[in-house]
Amino acid sequence: MMSAAEQEAGRRRRGRRTVNSELGPAGVDTLLAASIEVMSEHGYHGTSVRDIAHRAGVSPAALYHHFPSKHDVLVTIMDRGIEELLERTGEALSAAGPRAIDQLCGIVDVHVRFHLEDQHGTMLGTSEVRALAEPFRGEHLAKRRKQQRFFDRVLLGGTREGVFHTAYPRDAARAIVVMCTGVASWYRPEGPHSRTEIARRYQELALDLAGRRIG
């Protein structure tokens, strides 16, 4: 006969299997996608764990199996987003070669496309930084500054080389990042322009802000 402790351990194991079966192997991604949807509609503070679980089609216990709290869900969303953006921007910069114009076009393309691929997620990442508790807020803002430095270095380098002639390279770099981030707030897939067309337009706008020299 099993002891009371063994029986309790068995119940816990069965409970974990039940929670896992609600979500399947892609459980975390399912919960994060549902969280982005609900938080985008109601804001972080206006969203409950029950709201997220309902949207994901699972029980609140399933969410708590993966995340200790709603705050941990937000931290994961924010961290995944900025880490992917940093990785893709670094890769684009490496692939662009030594020319500042190519570098700027490459990282603008990444920044615009990233913010158009998951508009709700990127808008949430922009608007809900205030909801992050420390040390997560400071860590996230440090990663944002790292992303900004990609643009700063390209603008400063191009200005030193005489490729760009803006008198305010750092200000231009900040303006370009803000401009590219903002596409998530207005772009509509059913509109007249594709994501590729928007990315190309913003490359031209970025070059104008940088003050590129022709010839």
pLDDT digits (tens, 9 = 90+) for 44-85: 999 999 999 999 999 999 999 999 999 999 999 999 999 999
Mean of per-residue pLDDT scores for the chain: 89
* pLDDT of 19 over the 60 cut: no
pLDDT digits (tens, 9 = 90+) for 105-117: 999 999 999 999 9
pLDDT value, residue 26: 55
pLDDT value, residue 27: 82
pLDDT value, residue 22: 56
- Amino acid present at 182: G
pLDDT value, residue 15: 39
pLDDT digits (tens, 9 = 90+) for 141-168: 999 999 999 999 999 999 999 999 999 9
**8 Å CB contact between 108 and 177:** no
User: With a threshold of 0.95, does the pTM exceed it?
Assistant: no
- Portion of the chain with pLDDT greater than 90, in percent: 84
Domains belonging to the chain, first-starting first, are: 1-67 (1.10.10.60), 70-214 (1.10.357.10)
* pLDDT of 3 over the 50 cut: no
Report the alpha-carbon distance of residue 186 to residue 132 in Å, rounded. 25
